[in-house]
Amino acid sequence: MKIGIIGTRGIPNHYGGFEQFAEHLATYLVEKGCEVYVYNSSNHPYQEPLFKGVHIIHCNDPESKMGTIGQFVYDLNCILDTRKKI
């Protein structure tokens, strides 16, 4: 089963709350045999394509250039990419 997790800044967790949950959920699902994809912000310090068996998709995050509205653009970029890939 393919599972995509969006709405997170990325894993491994560097931010707290939802990112910690996403990391634990994603690695758990991989252990159970699922193919898991997590969207990471292009600004996230972890830039590798895999993390503990979880596929990482780096998506453009313009927050540093656009401010808070950039978070909405990042979420939209993730949603549009998900529709193409997963």
Please name every residue paired with 54 in a beta bridge, in sequence order, or none if there are none: 51
Return the pLDDT at 4.
92
85 pLDDT higher than 90: no
pLDDT band per the 50, 70, 90 thresholds, residue 49: very high
Angle at 85 between CA 53 and CA 48, to 5 degrees: 35
Q: What count of other Cβ atoms lies within 10 Å of the Cβ of residue 74?
A: 23
- Structure pTM? 0.89
**Longest alpha-carbon distance in the chain:** 39
